[in-house]
Structure formats: structure tokens, C-alpha cells
Chain A
Amino acid sequence: MTVIRTPGGLSVRFRPRALAVGVGAAVLAAGLGLVAMGSGDYPMGPTDVLRTLTGGGSAAEQFIVTELRLPRLVTALLVGAALALGGTVFQSLVRNPLGSPDILGFTQGASTGALVVVVLGGGSLALAGAAVVGGLATGLLIYALAWRRGVHGYRLVLVGIGVAAILTGVNGYLLTRAPLMDAARAVLWLTGSLDGRGWANAGPLLAVTAVLAPLLLVACAPALRMMELGDDTANALGVPVRRLRLVLLAAAVLLVSFAAAAAGPVSFVALVAPHVAKRLTRAPGPNLLPSMAVGSALLVGADLLAQRAFTGHQLPVGVVTGVLGGGYLVWLLAVERRAGRL
């Protein structure tokens, strides 16, 4: 821990290692983004991309970079950050490293919302809106079902898993009801994809993240750290546990729902990013900022792989995060088991 103190009695404390991880991951995300923006049917060098971003380059380059590739990159950065932040808050709140929105049912809820629109035949804007509504409604439902003199970790996890199972069934049913063409589009959406994402997709998520990230990072993080000590201890330290838990849950559900609206329910980022950040920072506590940066880097890297790994054939990004994230999790469990920690 490093402390900076001013003569006026102000003091700020931070972990150099955690800060380095956060900055490093952010730089990595930006670097990967630069490569991603330069690659494609119209290849450009990093300097050309930077020149175009700062207003130079031909009109064609301007169009390709700022209208086609930049919105996709910004969406990837934001979706990664939002999923990681939401996932970290969930895991910390339920005190369970598996407590991610993919497992607790929020992602499935967003999918249900989106699929209803597919069946009813709505446009992509309606689909995004419905995903947000579905995620939030699921959040409310799980909260209501798990509520008994406050909401506790285990109850939330168990209720969430149950709701997730039900919604998975509902989603399967909705898919069978959709016309074939729409069903194909829906499956692509369900995998999580950044293809053809424009500013209209990035905008709402940007707004939500811009409000919620500072709220969580600045106002809630210290109290969230105290919540890790158990409800009673947090209470004794002056944390308004119930109110804080409600605010945190709402914020995390909003982040995850808007991320799903922008790119579909991209799997495993919310689960894995907090773990990667924790291993890198080696710090107890929720590690919100490093997790966000790691999430962004993960998603941008995965999208780059998805676009370029197989020439002439693009994958949806969710395929890559699923394979990478799942693989990482299995590897982690194997390592922990061998080290006797599991």
C-alpha cells in the first residue's frame, strides 16, 4: 500500500501493483484495439489509424475507421468493462467466485427479453430495449424471491440458478416459435456478437457505464470491501448493509443488461475477468478498476481473434470468450487442485 498525504490532512491510499495491473490492461486493450482497427478488408498500419482518428486520412479511411471500426471497438471496450464490473460486484456481494450474472440468471433474462422481440418480429433497437427490460425484470424477480429479512448470498445464488434454469427453458421454447430466418439471427445474438455494431449500440451502454462506473468505483468500493467481512461486521463498521446491497445489485444488473443489449449475452467475461484481475493484483478486495480494464482487454482481444483467426470466416465473439474463458476456468481449477487449495 502506498499513501500520498497533503499538508492539509488529505490522504489517498492505493496499491501500486493493482494500479499497474489496471493501467497495463488498459494499455493492452488500447493496443489490441489499434491493431483491430487496422486489420480487415482494408488493412491500415497503426500510424495510419492514429492519423485518421485525429482527423487526417482520406474520406474513405475516415469512413472505415470512425463509422465502421471505431464503434465496434468502443462497444467491445464498454461491453468488456461493464460485464467485468457487474461480474465483480456480483461475486463480491454473494461472496462466491461463481456468482456471475451468467450463472445467476440475469443474462438469461436479457436473452428472454430479446427473444420475445424476435418472435414478435421487432427491429434491432426494440431487441436491445427488450434485453434491458428482460435483464432488469429478472433482477427484480430474483430479488423478490430471495428476499427474507434482506437478501443473503446463498439464497441469491440458489434462487438465481433456479431462475436461470427456468429461463433457459423459456428461451428454448421461444426459439422454436420463431420463424427460421429470425431464429438464425436470434442464435447469433445469443452467442454474443459485435458484428456490425454502430454508435447506436455503443451509446446507451456508454451513458450507463459513465454514470455507474464512477458511482461504484468511488462511492461504493470502500463499503463493498467492508461487506466482504460479513454482514454483521460491515454493519458494525457503519455500512448501511441492506441499502448498499440493493444499490449494488441494481447497478450490476443495469450494467449487465445494457452490455447484453449492446452485444448479446457474451459468455464468461463477467465470470473470468474478476479472477484474472485478482490473480494479477494479488490483492484482497473487489479489485473493481483492474477487473474493468481486464474485461475490456479480454473482449477486444477475443473480438480480434474472432475476426482474424480464420481467414475469410468470422466467428461471433461469444464463441471465443466461451472457449477461452471456459478453458481458463478449467486450467485454474486444475492448478488450484494440484496446489492443494481445492
Chain B
Amino acid sequence: MTSRLGGTALTLAYDRRTISEDLTVAVPDRSFTVIIGPNACGKSTLLRALSRMLRPSAGAVLLDGRDIHDLPARKVARTLGLLPQSSIAPDGIGVAELVARGRYPHQGLLRQWSREDERIVDESMAATGVADLADRPVDELSGGQRQRVWIAMALAQQTPLLLLDEPTTYLDIAHQIEILDLCARLHEEQGRTLVAVLHDLNHAARYATHLIAMRDGRVVAAGDPREVVTADLVADVFGLPCRVIDDPETGTPLVVPAARRRATEPA
């Protein structure tokens, strides 16, 4: 397994509150890696560290073999993109204009808007299905449309690696699937390496090609979702009794939580 992005012996902490110690992870190249785990298990913290936003107090995040904090910010931004949990759309900004801001790390003082920038922004909007909205103000869009616009912006950054922090939060089920299908397509068709933090275990099992399960700041299991997602692991990581069956649509593991009544029935 080759890996351009990973962390070795990471200690991750906010001020004096330590989240993870001696954490080692690797993101396989060209994978759709999904990080799962219960609330406050450190999955978003790990993503922040991988995306250079949190400096580890020990250990190092390596991008192409070099400490990510030794690389210039712009250079990192041309290799590694991030869709954060929350972004702010400036008042009155249009869709195309927002997507165009993804070109920032490629632009310069006298190279403000090349034909390539224009082409890539058009392609990014087409890939995420927001080309028809190009001239609409972002404030007027629905939550699902807005999330696709932000993904288009991250795509316009043209990075081989793209990290997404809970990209489906706040969306209804149809839009969640729409966003995940979009991610899967970007992964398959454009050959990008995707890393996403997801809350829904079944979504993770269905879409991930590589799954990292975390609890209490540690990696409990990592690998193919078919091997990782077992009833024992779910009980261990989430403390949830369940059955794992085959997803009738995809054959991937499907977690069915145990019913409350069953637990109280005499065996």
C-alpha cells in the first residue's frame, strides 16, 4: 500500500486537553477513506491534523514524505484540499464566483484569472451539478445545493487529495446520498484520494474503500469495510449491540441495531 498522506506517532491536543496519543494512520493512495467513531473520539481532530490546521504536539503529519508544517501553505493547498464542517459564504456572492475562489492557491499577482482557471471552474461546477446555478446568489440555495457548491470549490482547487469533514451533516437523507454518490464518483472517475469523516456507519460501510474506526483517540481497526465492520467491532467502538447483515443493494455490511425489546427478553 502506498500512501502520500499519513501521520506517525501523533500526539494531538487542544491547549492542555490531549485527544490522541501515539496515533499512527496512513491514507492509502486512490482510496475513499472514511473515518468513523462515536462523538468526541478524535476523528475530526485527526482530520484537522491531517489538513495542517492543528499542529501535533508530538509526531508528524507527512505529505509526500515531508512534514506538512515544513511545506509552504500554498504548496500544500495545491496538493491537499479540505471541505471544513462550516464555511461562510460572503453576503451576496454568486455560485460561480464562490467556486472560483478555489483557484486561489494557483493564482498570483499577475496571474489572476487564466483560461485554465475558467475551464477548471466550469468543469468543477459541471461535475457537482451546479452549472445551472452559476449566476445564482449562494444565500438563495437549499442546503444540499449549497454543499455541492462548496464541494465544487474544493474541486476547483484541483488537489489529488481531498479531505471532507462530515460533508453530510445537516442534510436530509436524499441529499446525504446525493453528496456521497458525488464523492464516490469523484473518487472513481477522477482518481482522487478522498478522506471523509462520517457519522453514519452504514454510509461509511457502503461508500468507503478503506475504513478507519476510532475510539478514545485511538485507531481500533482499519481496512476494508467488509472486514472491519463486524458486530463485535460496533459493540466495541460504539457500545451498540447489533447485527451485521449484507446490504441488499450493494452487498456491503449493513448494521442493524438490536431492538430494545430483544435485550430484555429471556434467552
**Chain A interface residues toward B at CB < 8 A:** 1, 3, 5, 9-13, 95, 149, 218, 222, 225-226, 228-230, 232-233, 235-240, 282, 284-285
Query: Using Cβ atoms and an 8 Å threshold, which residues of chain B touch A230?
Result: 84, 86-88
Nearest CB in chain A: distance from B78 CB, A: 7
Q: Roughly how many angstroms separate A327 CA and B52 CA in the complex, as a whole number? A: 46
Q: Are A285 and B104 in contact (CB under 8 A)?
A: no
Q: Roughly how many angstroms separate A282 CA and B111 CA in the complex, as a whole number? A: 24
Contacts A236-B77, A236-B84, A238-B105 given: A11-B110 contact, CB under 8 Å? yes
Q: Which residue of B lies closest to A95 (CB)?
A: B88
Query: Using Cβ atoms and an 8 Å threshold, which residues of chain A touch B73?
Result: 235, 238-240
What 3 A-B pairs have minimum CB-CB distances, sorted nearest first?
A238-B77, A232-B84, A236-B82
Q: Which residue of A lies closest to B88 (CB)?
A: A230
Given contacts A226-B101, A232-B87, 17 further A-B contacts (CB under 8 A): A11-B112, A11-B114, A12-B112, A13-B113, A149-B14, A149-B15, A222-B104, A232-B84, A233-B82, A233-B84, A233-B87, A235-B51, A236-B53, A236-B82, A238-B78, A238-B104, A284-B92
Q: Which residue of B lies closest to A244 (CB)?
A: B73
Greatest chain A CB density within 10 A among B85, B86, B88, B97 is at B88
Q: Which residue of B lies closest to A225 (CB)?
A: B101
User: Is B115 interfacial (CB-CB < 8 Å)?
Assistant: yes
Give the size category of B's interface with A.
35 or more
Q: Are A229 and B87 in contact (CB under 8 A)?
A: yes
What are 9 sample pairs from A and B whose C-beta atoms fall under 8 A apart? A13-B113, A149-B15, A229-B89, A229-B90, A230-B87, A232-B53, A235-B51, A236-B84, A238-B104
Query: Using Cβ atoms and an 8 Å threshold, which residues of chain B touch A225?
Result: 101
Main secondary structure on B side of the interface with A: loop
Across the A-B interface, how many residue pairs have beta carbons closer than 8 Å? 90
Q: Are A284 and B86 in contact (CB under 8 A)?
A: no
Query: Using Cβ atoms and an 8 Å threshold, which residues of chain A touch B101?
Result: 225-226, 229, 237
User: Is B66 interfacial (CB-CB < 8 Å)?
Assistant: no
Q: Roughly how many angstroms separate A222 CA and B93 CA in the complex, as a whole number? A: 15
Q: Are B53 and A235 in contact (CB under 8 A)?
A: yes
Nearest CB in chain A: distance from B104 CB, A: 5
Query: Using Cβ atoms and an 8 Å threshold, which residues of chain A touch B107?
Result: 222
Query: Using Cβ atoms and an 8 Å threshold, which residues of chain B touch A12?
Result: 110, 112-113
Q: Are B51 and A236 in contact (CB under 8 A)?
A: yes
Nearest CB in chain B: distance from A37 CB, A: 37
* Pick from A5, A11, A238: contact of B74, CB under 8 Å: A238
Q: Which residue of A lies closest to B157 (CB)?
A: A237
Q: Roughly how many angstroms separate A95 CA and B91 CA in the complex, as a whole number? A: 11
Q: Are B81 and A236 in contact (CB under 8 A)?
A: yes
* Pick from B77, B82, B89, B110: contact of A232, CB under 8 Å: B82
Q: Which residue of A lies closest to B104 (CB)?
A: A237
Q: Are A237 and B84 in contact (CB under 8 A)?
A: no
User: Is B26 interfacial (CB-CB < 8 Å)?
Assistant: no
